[in-house]
Amino acid sequence: MVTAVTADSGASSVVTALYVRTRALHLEAERTGVVAEILRGGASREGYALLLRNLHPAYREIEDGIERHRNSPILAPLARWRLARTSAIAADLTALAGPDWAAQWPLLPEGEAYARTISRAAEGDGSRLIAHAYTRYLGDLNGGLIVRRLLEKSLGLGAGELSHYDFSAIAEPAALKTDYRQALERAGAAAHDTDAIVAEGAVAFECNIALSIAVQRHLAGKPAPQSQGVGSP
Ligand code: HEM
Protein backbone atom coordinates (compact mmCIF):
# COMPACT_ATOMS: atom_id res chain seq x y z
CA MET A 1 0.00 0.00 0.00
CA VAL A 2 3.01 2.31 -0.13
CA THR A 3 2.20 4.48 -3.11
CA ALA A 4 3.80 7.89 -2.97
CA VAL A 5 6.89 9.74 -1.88
CA THR A 6 5.79 12.78 0.06
CA ALA A 7 6.64 16.29 -1.04
CA ASP A 8 9.01 16.99 1.84
CA SER A 9 11.44 14.36 0.54
CA GLY A 10 14.28 15.70 -1.59
CA ALA A 11 16.75 13.83 -3.79
CA SER A 12 19.28 13.37 -0.96
CA SER A 13 16.63 12.41 1.56
CA VAL A 14 17.42 9.36 3.65
CA VAL A 15 13.69 8.72 4.07
CA THR A 16 13.17 8.66 0.30
CA ALA A 17 16.16 6.37 -0.11
CA LEU A 18 14.76 4.05 2.57
CA TYR A 19 11.33 4.16 0.96
CA VAL A 20 12.71 3.28 -2.49
CA ARG A 21 14.95 0.50 -1.14
CA THR A 22 12.15 -1.11 0.91
CA ARG A 23 9.17 -0.60 -1.42
CA ALA A 24 9.12 -4.19 -2.72
CA LEU A 25 9.83 -5.52 0.78
CA HIS A 26 6.88 -3.54 2.12
CA LEU A 27 4.59 -5.26 -0.35
CA GLU A 28 6.07 -8.60 0.67
CA ALA A 29 5.56 -7.75 4.36
CA GLU A 30 1.90 -7.00 3.73
CA ARG A 31 1.40 -10.25 1.84
CA THR A 32 3.18 -12.68 4.17
CA GLY A 33 2.66 -14.51 7.43
CA VAL A 34 0.52 -13.29 10.28
CA VAL A 35 0.55 -9.69 8.94
CA ALA A 36 -1.26 -10.90 5.80
CA GLU A 37 -3.77 -12.70 8.03
CA ILE A 38 -4.37 -9.51 10.02
CA LEU A 39 -4.89 -7.61 6.77
CA ARG A 40 -7.44 -10.20 5.59
CA GLY A 41 -9.24 -9.94 8.94
CA GLY A 42 -8.38 -13.58 9.59
CA ALA A 43 -5.81 -13.40 12.40
CA SER A 44 -6.55 -14.84 15.83
CA ARG A 45 -6.10 -13.02 19.13
CA GLU A 46 -3.21 -15.44 19.80
CA GLY A 47 -1.59 -14.58 16.47
CA TYR A 48 -1.70 -10.89 17.17
CA ALA A 49 -0.48 -11.32 20.77
CA LEU A 50 2.41 -13.54 19.68
CA LEU A 51 3.50 -11.02 17.05
CA LEU A 52 3.35 -8.21 19.58
CA ARG A 53 5.25 -10.21 22.21
CA ASN A 54 8.02 -10.81 19.67
CA LEU A 55 8.15 -7.15 18.64
CA HIS A 56 8.53 -6.02 22.25
CA PRO A 57 12.31 -6.66 22.51
CA ALA A 58 12.85 -4.99 19.12
CA TYR A 59 11.19 -1.78 20.32
CA ARG A 60 13.15 -1.96 23.57
CA GLU A 61 16.41 -2.11 21.60
CA ILE A 62 15.38 0.81 19.37
CA GLU A 63 14.28 2.96 22.30
CA ASP A 64 17.22 2.08 24.59
CA GLY A 65 19.65 2.57 21.70
CA ILE A 66 18.30 6.01 20.77
CA GLU A 67 18.32 7.00 24.44
CA ARG A 68 21.99 5.95 24.82
CA HIS A 69 22.90 8.14 21.84
CA ARG A 70 20.66 11.05 22.84
CA ASN A 71 23.56 13.49 23.08
CA SER A 72 25.04 12.57 19.70
CA PRO A 73 24.38 15.06 16.89
CA ILE A 74 23.09 12.20 14.73
CA LEU A 75 20.43 10.70 17.00
CA ALA A 76 19.50 13.77 19.05
CA PRO A 77 16.63 14.69 16.66
CA LEU A 78 15.09 11.24 17.20
CA ALA A 79 15.74 11.19 20.97
CA ARG A 80 13.65 14.33 21.28
CA TRP A 81 10.61 12.18 20.60
CA ARG A 82 9.89 9.77 23.43
CA LEU A 83 7.52 7.55 21.50
CA ALA A 84 7.68 4.89 24.25
CA ARG A 85 6.15 2.06 22.28
CA THR A 86 7.93 -0.52 24.48
CA SER A 87 5.75 0.39 27.45
CA ALA A 88 2.64 0.76 25.28
CA ILE A 89 3.18 -2.76 23.90
CA ALA A 90 3.78 -4.17 27.40
CA ALA A 91 0.48 -2.60 28.50
CA ASP A 92 -1.33 -4.14 25.50
CA LEU A 93 0.17 -7.56 26.23
CA THR A 94 -0.89 -7.33 29.86
CA ALA A 95 -4.43 -6.49 28.72
CA LEU A 96 -4.39 -9.33 26.19
CA ALA A 97 -2.81 -12.07 28.28
CA GLY A 98 -2.31 -10.90 31.87
CA PRO A 99 0.85 -9.86 33.70
CA ASP A 100 2.69 -13.11 32.91
CA TRP A 101 2.48 -12.54 29.15
CA ALA A 102 6.22 -13.06 28.72
CA ALA A 103 5.91 -16.56 30.16
CA GLN A 104 2.72 -17.34 28.23
CA TRP A 105 3.99 -16.31 24.83
CA PRO A 106 7.41 -17.51 23.68
CA LEU A 107 10.12 -15.30 22.31
CA LEU A 108 10.71 -16.99 18.96
CA PRO A 109 14.21 -17.21 17.44
CA GLU A 110 13.12 -14.65 14.83
CA GLY A 111 12.03 -12.20 17.55
CA GLU A 112 15.34 -12.68 19.29
CA ALA A 113 17.24 -12.24 16.01
CA TYR A 114 15.37 -9.02 15.25
CA ALA A 115 16.26 -7.56 18.66
CA ARG A 116 19.89 -8.66 18.28
CA THR A 117 20.08 -7.05 14.84
CA ILE A 118 18.90 -3.74 16.31
CA SER A 119 21.30 -4.01 19.23
CA ARG A 120 24.16 -4.36 16.72
CA ALA A 121 22.83 -1.41 14.73
CA ALA A 122 23.09 0.66 17.92
CA GLU A 123 26.85 0.03 18.11
CA GLY A 124 29.33 2.68 16.99
CA ASP A 125 27.64 6.02 16.30
CA GLY A 126 24.26 4.26 16.24
CA SER A 127 23.30 5.77 12.88
CA ARG A 128 21.83 2.49 11.59
CA LEU A 129 19.14 2.89 14.27
CA ILE A 130 17.66 5.49 11.92
CA ALA A 131 16.61 2.62 9.63
CA HIS A 132 14.97 0.70 12.47
CA ALA A 133 13.16 3.77 13.75
CA TYR A 134 11.96 4.49 10.19
CA THR A 135 10.70 0.94 9.71
CA ARG A 136 8.78 0.60 12.95
CA TYR A 137 7.59 4.11 13.77
CA LEU A 138 6.65 5.29 10.27
CA GLY A 139 5.05 1.85 9.85
CA ASP A 140 3.04 2.35 13.06
CA LEU A 141 2.03 5.86 12.03
CA ASN A 142 0.91 4.73 8.55
CA GLY A 143 -0.21 1.11 8.13
CA GLY A 144 -0.47 0.76 11.91
CA LEU A 145 -3.57 2.89 11.87
CA ILE A 146 -5.14 0.58 9.29
CA VAL A 147 -4.11 -2.41 11.38
CA ARG A 148 -5.70 -0.90 14.47
CA ARG A 149 -9.06 -0.55 12.71
CA LEU A 150 -8.83 -4.11 11.39
CA LEU A 151 -8.07 -5.48 14.85
CA GLU A 152 -10.95 -3.54 16.37
CA LYS A 153 -13.28 -4.95 13.77
CA SER A 154 -12.09 -8.52 13.35
CA LEU A 155 -11.00 -9.33 16.93
CA GLY A 156 -13.08 -6.82 18.87
CA LEU A 157 -9.98 -5.43 20.57
CA GLY A 158 -10.47 -2.26 22.58
CA ALA A 159 -8.38 0.81 23.27
CA GLY A 160 -6.66 -0.87 26.24
CA GLU A 161 -5.33 -3.59 23.96
CA LEU A 162 -4.35 -1.28 21.12
CA SER A 163 -2.30 1.44 22.80
CA HIS A 164 0.63 0.47 20.54
CA TYR A 165 -1.12 2.54 17.85
CA ASP A 166 -2.22 5.37 20.11
CA PHE A 167 0.17 8.30 19.87
CA SER A 168 -2.36 10.87 21.13
CA ALA A 169 -0.40 11.51 24.34
CA ILE A 170 2.56 12.59 22.20
CA ALA A 171 1.00 14.52 19.32
CA GLU A 172 -1.80 14.53 16.79
CA PRO A 173 -1.00 11.56 14.46
CA ALA A 174 -0.77 13.45 11.12
CA ALA A 175 1.49 16.12 12.64
CA LEU A 176 3.60 13.49 14.37
CA LYS A 177 4.07 11.65 11.07
CA THR A 178 5.39 14.81 9.44
CA ASP A 179 7.51 15.84 12.42
CA TYR A 180 9.03 12.40 12.94
CA ARG A 181 9.82 12.12 9.23
CA GLN A 182 11.64 15.44 9.49
CA ALA A 183 13.53 14.20 12.54
CA LEU A 184 14.60 11.12 10.56
CA GLU A 185 15.75 13.42 7.75
CA ARG A 186 17.81 15.56 10.13
CA ALA A 187 19.37 12.46 11.69
CA GLY A 188 20.14 11.07 8.21
CA ALA A 189 21.70 14.37 7.11
CA ALA A 190 24.05 14.30 10.13
CA ALA A 191 25.08 10.67 9.54
CA HIS A 192 28.24 9.78 7.68
CA ASP A 193 27.18 6.65 5.81
CA THR A 194 23.73 6.87 4.23
CA ASP A 195 24.28 3.66 2.26
CA ALA A 196 24.70 1.70 5.50
CA ILE A 197 21.42 3.16 6.82
CA VAL A 198 19.57 2.28 3.62
CA ALA A 199 21.00 -1.26 3.63
CA GLU A 200 19.90 -1.59 7.26
CA GLY A 201 16.37 -0.61 6.21
CA ALA A 202 16.19 -3.70 4.03
CA VAL A 203 17.48 -5.83 6.92
CA ALA A 204 14.79 -4.35 9.18
CA PHE A 205 12.03 -5.28 6.74
CA GLU A 206 13.51 -8.76 6.28
CA CYS A 207 13.46 -9.24 10.06
CA ASN A 208 9.80 -8.24 10.12
CA ILE A 209 8.92 -10.60 7.29
CA ALA A 210 10.79 -13.50 8.93
CA LEU A 211 9.02 -12.82 12.23
CA SER A 212 5.60 -12.62 10.62
CA ILE A 213 6.16 -15.99 8.94
CA ALA A 214 7.52 -17.51 12.15
CA VAL A 215 4.48 -16.41 14.17
CA GLN A 216 2.15 -17.95 11.60
CA ARG A 217 4.15 -21.20 11.57
CA HIS A 218 4.33 -21.38 15.34
CA LEU A 219 0.58 -21.14 15.66
CA ALA A 220 0.11 -23.75 12.95
CA GLY A 221 2.49 -26.00 14.90
CA LYS A 222 5.05 -26.13 12.12
CA PRO A 223 8.72 -25.62 13.00
CA ALA A 224 10.53 -23.03 10.89
CA PRO A 225 12.97 -24.55 8.38
CA GLN A 226 16.71 -23.95 8.90
CA SER A 227 16.76 -21.19 6.28
CA GLN A 228 14.27 -19.04 8.25
CA GLY A 229 16.16 -16.58 10.34
CA VAL A 230 16.78 -13.56 8.20
CA GLY A 231 18.46 -10.99 10.33
CA SER A 232 20.20 -13.55 12.51
CA PRO A 233 23.96 -13.21 12.75
C1 HEM B 1 -0.84 -4.75 7.61
C2 HEM B 1 -0.03 -4.48 6.69
C3 HEM B 1 0.36 -3.09 6.28
C4 HEM B 1 -0.40 -2.10 5.72
C5 HEM B 1 -1.86 -2.17 5.40
C6 HEM B 1 0.47 -0.98 5.50
C7 HEM B 1 0.07 0.20 4.94
C8 HEM B 1 0.86 1.32 4.76
C9 HEM B 1 0.43 2.58 4.18
C10 HEM B 1 -0.97 2.86 3.67
C11 HEM B 1 1.46 3.40 4.19
C12 HEM B 1 1.48 4.85 3.69
C13 HEM B 1 1.90 4.83 2.25
C14 HEM B 1 2.09 6.16 1.62
O15 HEM B 1 2.29 7.17 2.29
O16 HEM B 1 2.08 6.16 0.39
C17 HEM B 1 2.56 2.70 4.79
C18 HEM B 1 3.80 3.22 4.98
C19 HEM B 1 4.81 2.58 5.64
N20 HEM B 1 4.80 1.28 6.13
FE21 HEM B 1 3.29 0.00 5.99
N22 HEM B 1 1.71 -1.27 5.94
C23 HEM B 1 1.69 -2.55 6.43
C24 HEM B 1 2.72 -3.26 6.96
C25 HEM B 1 3.94 -2.72 7.22
C26 HEM B 1 5.03 -3.43 7.85
C27 HEM B 1 4.99 -4.89 8.32
C28 HEM B 1 6.07 -2.56 7.93
C29 HEM B 1 7.43 -2.78 8.50
C30 HEM B 1 7.61 -3.28 9.67
C31 HEM B 1 5.64 -1.29 7.37
C32 HEM B 1 6.40 -0.15 7.29
C33 HEM B 1 6.01 1.02 6.69
C34 HEM B 1 6.85 2.18 6.56
C35 HEM B 1 8.28 2.33 7.07
C36 HEM B 1 6.10 3.17 5.91
C37 HEM B 1 6.54 4.60 5.56
C38 HEM B 1 6.94 4.66 4.10
C39 HEM B 1 7.44 6.05 3.74
O40 HEM B 1 6.63 6.96 3.74
O41 HEM B 1 8.64 6.18 3.51
N42 HEM B 1 4.35 -1.43 6.94
N43 HEM B 1 2.16 1.43 5.13
Q: Which residue, judged by its Cα, is nearest atom 20 of ligand 1?
A: 139
Q: How far is the CA of 139 from the centre of ligand 1 (A)?
A: 5
Report whether pLDDT(9) > 90: no
Report DSSP state, residue 126. -
Q: Whose CA is nearest to atom 5 of ligand 1?
A: 143
Is residue 143 lining ligand 1, measured as CB closer than 6 Å? yes
| Separation between Cα atoms, residue 89 and residue 94, nearest integer Å | 9
Look at phi and psi of residue 32 and say left if phi exceeds 0, alpha if psi is from -120 to 50, else beta. beta
Tell me the three state secondary structure of residue 142.
coil
Instruction: Consult the annotation and say whether 134 binds a ligand.
Output: yes
Sequence-distant (≥ 6) Cβ neighbours of residue 83 within 8 angstroms: 63, 137, 167, 170, 180
Reported as a pLDDT band with limits 50, 70 and 90, residue 224 is low
For ligand 1, pick from 142, 145, 179 the residue to mutate: most ligand atoms within 8 Å of CB: 142
Measured CA to CA, the distance from residue 14 to residue 179 in angstroms comes to 15
0.85 exceeded by the pTM? yes
Identify which of 153, 131, 150 has the alpha carbon closest to the alpha carbon of residue 30.
150
d(CA 118, CA 132): 7
Q: How far is the CA of 136 from the centre of ligand 1 (A)?
A: 9
Q: Please say if the pLDDT value at position 3 is more than 60.
A: no
Segment 99-111 shows an average pLDDT of 96
Decide: 29 in ligand 1 pocket, CB within 6 A: yes
Q: Which helix (H) or strand (E) holds 155?
A: helix 143-155
Task: Please check the confidence at residue 18 and state whether its pLDDT lies above 90.
Answer: yes
Residue 12's pLDDT is what?
84
User: Distance from the CA of 100 to the center of ligand 1, in angstroms?
Assistant: 31
Q: Is 166 in the pocket of ligand 1 (CB under 6 A)?
A: no
pLDDT digit string (tens) for 186-207? 999 999 999 999 999 999 999 9
Question: What residue owns the CA closest to ligand 1's atom 6?
Answer: 143
- The whole-chain average pLDDT of the chain stands at 92
**219 in Cβ contact with 48 (< 8 Å):** no
List of domains in the chain: 14-220 (1.20.910.10)
C-alpha distances (whole Å) from 181 to each of 30, 111, 184 are: 21, 26, 5
**pLDDT band for position 222 (cuts 50, 70, 90):** low
